[in-house]
Amino acid sequence: MTMQALPARYRVTSRDAETHDTVTLALEPVDRPIGPHLPGQFTMLYAFGVGEVPISISGPAGLGLVQTIRSVGAVTRSLCGADRGHVVGVRGPYGTDWGVADAAGRDLVVVAGGIGLAPLRGALLAALAAREMYRRIVVLIGARSPEELVFAGELAAWRAGGADVLVTVDRATAGWTGHVGVVTQLIGPAQLDPAAALVLVCGPEVMMRLTARALREHGVPPGNIRLSLERNMRCGVAECGHCQLGPLLLCRDGPVVSYTRAAPLLSVREL
Ligand SMILES: Cc1cc2nc3c(=O)[nH]c(=O)nc-3n(C[C@H](O)[C@H](O)[C@H](O)COP(=O)(O)OP(=O)(O)OC[C@H]3O[C@@H](n4cnc5c(N)ncnc54)[C@H](O)[C@@H]3O)c2cc1C
């Protein structure tokens, strides 16, 4: 393991439950911090004695880290259970970023499916902090059910900060009065200016494929669409090859990839 690949120790300073299986952890360095990060990048989070997994940074830039984790297996279960004071290992930041500032003077549009809102949150917060730089900020969110919606408590603040936020759920439950259906159904009502929109998309791969296709049908050029692609990652530094997708090593050439580059690769399934 090279020096660059040694994890830095970070302490959990807060732990907030987003949904029944998803938590947001705030982390502060115990000794040396990792380098500065940009929205869209990820870290390798190490649950000592359990294992290491790639997790996107969901918070704004700064010394501390905010990461939102869904419990799906041994490592993410351990990380989700980490209480205040618990120490985890962090390597990174790794990968490409969303390039939010490329939307300056234009419209920034984020389209999220489920926990895909986590990697997009940093981009959104950066844009809201410089609201005057963008003509419009549009947020389209799809969740399986109202209970699965992450960052639900922040939507009002995003709206108050100048974003148009539209939410849909696949399945309504008692008390839900909002839109029901898949996230692509929000693209029409959002009334995007296709030539002026930079669209950042993150969610399950099928959702990203269908969203990119719908955006193309609405006239958004492929070069104005960016996706965050996930494959199993181990080293994070383009050495092990686990995250190969066609000619790309996604820990280095992704996770954020232009649709121009991603489209021909998206039919390739993970082994
Ligand atoms: C660049 C990148 C950023 C990510 N960001 C986040 C994030 O912000 N929050 C978050 O909760 N998760 C994120 N993930 C997914 C996360 O890394 C996996 O859920 C994790 O590796 C699962 O490890 P585990 O040991 O808990 O479960 P495992 O036992 O390894 O897997 C449990 C189940 O999850 C599936 N799985 C494993 N890895 C992935 C994956 N990459 N994508 C989809 N399914 C997977 C397995 O096939 C299995 O069915 C990201 C992945 C990548 C590549």
For residue range 115-162, list pLDDT tens digits in order: 999 999 999 999 999 999 999 999 999 999 999 999 999 999 999 999
53 lines ligand 1 (CB under 6 A): yes
* Closest by CA position to 260, among listed 227, 230, 211, 217: 227
DSSP 237-257: SSSS-TTEETTEEHHHH-SEE
Segment 58-79 mean pLDDT: 93
Phi first, then psi: give them for residue 69, nearest 5 degrees.
Answer: -125, 130
73 lines ligand 1 (CB under 6 A): yes
Preceding omega of 189 cis (within 30 degrees of 0): no
74 lines ligand 1 (CB under 6 A): yes
**Cα distances (angstroms) measured from residue 193 to each of 96, 126, 270:** 26, 21, 34
| pLDDT value, residue 268 | 54
Tell me the pLDDT tens digit for each residue of 72-95.
999 999 999 999 999 999 999 999
Q: How far is the CA of 21 from the centre of ligand 1 (A)?
A: 13
**Cα distances (angstroms) measured from residue 123 to each of 56, 104, 111:** 12, 13, 12
Pairing of strands 179-180, 22-29: unpaired
Pairing of strands 42-47, 136-143: unpaired
CB atoms under 10 Å from CB of 232, counted, come to 13
Ligand 1 mutation pick, 94, 115, 230, 270, max ligand atoms within 8 A of CB:
230
Token duo for residue 65: 């880290």
pLDDT band for position 106 (50/70/90)? very high
For the chain, what's the residue count?
271
Q: State if pTM tops 0.85.
A: yes
The overall average pLDDT reported for the chain is 93
| pLDDT value, residue 269 | 54
CA distance 221 to 217: 9
Q: How far is the CA of 242 from the centre of ligand 1 (A)?
A: 13
Q: Is 230 helix (H, G, I), strand (E, B) or coil?
A: coil
Q: Which residue has the tokens 């009065």?
A: 177
Ligand 1 atom 31 nearest Cα: 73
Residues 192, 200: contact at Cβ < 8 Å? no
Alpha helices in 86-195 (DSSP H): 117-129, 155-160
Q: How far is the CA of 252 from the centre of ligand 1 (A)?
A: 17
18 lines ligand 1 (CB under 6 A): no
Tell me the pLDDT tens digit for each residue of 19-42.
999 999 999 999 999 999 999 999
pLDDT band for position 239 (50/70/90)? confident
| Residue 195 CA neighbour count, 13 Å, CB half | 0
